[in-house]
Amino acid sequence: MTDAELKEKLMDRFTTANTPMGRWRLGLYVKWKRLAWNLVVGSTHFVKRVLDIVLSIVAIILLLPIFVVIGILVKMDGGPMIFQQTRIGLRGREFKMYKFRSMCMDAEERLAELLKHNEKKEGITFKMKDDPRITKIGKFIRKASIDELPQFFNVLQGDMSLVGPRPPVPREVALYCQEDRRRFLVKPGITCIWQVGERAGGTFEIGDRNSIDFKEQVSLDVRYIESQSVWKDMWLLAKTVPAILFGKGA
């Protein structure tokens, strides 16, 4: 059906709505469209959740030896193995995100004095070359993104998804404008479009995420939200591996 034919059909529906029977038919049509849309969205969310659970369980089982080794190395450096940090997720809800600890114990307290060295000009997110808070083992696990592996447990708990906008800390959210808060329309994820450096939308595109500023991150997250699909999620997961191996996620 062409756009002109569709427009004509819709106009006919609204024209006939002037009669009792027409209004009944139009109301029935709207209810059917709403039901069909809810079924499509609901089934997509269901499939995404099932994949999150299945793939996270598989990943945890396969990566268990790495969990043990990294856990021991982090513990030897002093302090707990797992770092729990408050993040903001779906609809602005707070949750505890898990990571292998890669920084010293007083990292959060020292952040205030390091903000003046922030390499991100907009000042919302924080990045600093040779951050003095990072431990020796921390440098390695951050370079290889191994510190993010405990987030598979966040996915199992339902706080996160495998693919979705990265969850920000409350300090960052306090600086958000209303437009930036569109990121909270879906569950946050372990990986996303800008994490693999996909800026132009290319199927095989992998780039350097460090060159993407905050506003572009938001734009790419919104692009994902508006066009997300199970197949897109699977492809982003597949591209995350080479993005890490080739140093694009460093």
pLDDT by 10s per residue, the chain, length 250: 666 666 666 666 666 666 676 666 667 777 777 776 666 666 778 999 999 999 999 999 999 999 999 999 999 887 899 999 999 999 999 999 999 999 988 888 888 788 777 777 676 888 777 788 999 999 999 988 999 999 999 999 999 999 999 999 999 999 999 999 999 999 999 999 999 999 988 888 998 888 899 999 999 999 999 888 889 999 999 999 898 877 554 4
What pLDDT is recorded for position 17? 60
Helix residue ranges, H only, the chain: 3-16, 20-62, 64-76, 107-114, 136-143, 151-157, 170-173, 214-227, 230-245
DSSP tag of 167? P
Residue 103 neighbours by CB distance under 10 Å: 20
Residue 88, beta-bridge partner list: 94
E strand segments, the chain: 82-88, 94-100, 161-163, 189-191
* Residue ranges covered by each domain of the chain: 49-245
The pTM (predicted TM-score) of the whole model is 0.82
Number of helices (H) and strands (E), helices first, in the chain? 9, 4
Q: Which pLDDT score, from 0 to 100, does residue 128 have?
A: 79
**What three-state secondary structure class fits 40?**
helix
Tokens of residue 208, six digits: 């350097």
